[in-house]
Amino acid sequence: MKGIYENYMKLEFASKSNNEAFARIAVAAFASQLDPSIEELADIKTAVSEAVTNCIIHGYEEKDGIVKIECMILANTISIEISDTGKGIEDIETAKEPLYTSKPDLERSGMGFTIMESFMDEMKVESVLGLGTKVTMKKMIKKEAKEESTYV
């Protein structure tokens, strides 16, 4: 594990679509220690769903594989790495274009990377053909000033 962090979590599971909800909830539970708002938590869950779905649908296609998630917390930021050892992405820039999909026969919108980018503060995609893909996303949790109670 690279760098210094305050807390760390690693999760591996089979590339089955019914594990997508499990991944989303597990990461949300880990992120909850930062006391995120409902909106921040929803953003994280949506981005995780998109990344995990990409691993299952595009990375492994019809084959079985393992999806890995690593989460790190440092200060008020969660970093989430989601990776597979699937087929990889031939052209990352094209894949990141809104509405692009390599599976037009499926009812998919091609908005996965766009959603991840818009819901998280940072997103990076690394991929090697035949070896797999890793998506790293970061979200800073903004602490709202708590109003002091003025009861008399």
Tokens of 102: 């390599």
Distance from C-alpha of 80 to C-alpha of 8, rounded to nearest angstrom: 10
Distance from C-alpha of 98 to C-alpha of 129, rounded to nearest angstrom: 22
Could you tell me which of 91, 98, 128, 126 has the C-alpha nearest to residue 112?
A: 98
108: annotated active-site residue: yes
Spatial neighbors of 91 by CB under 8 A, at least 6 apart, are none
24: annotated active-site residue: no
Q: Using alpha carbons only, what angle is made at residue 109 by residues 55 and 41, rounded to the nearest 5 degrees?
A: 65
Point out the catalytic residue in the list 20, 54, 70, 81. Answer: 54
Q: Are 38 and 107 in contact (CB under 8 A)?
A: no
Point out the catalytic residue in the list 50, 76, 90, 107. Answer: 50
Point out the catalytic residue in the list 19, 76, 108, 117. Answer: 108
Which residues does the annotation mark as catalytic? 50, 54, 108
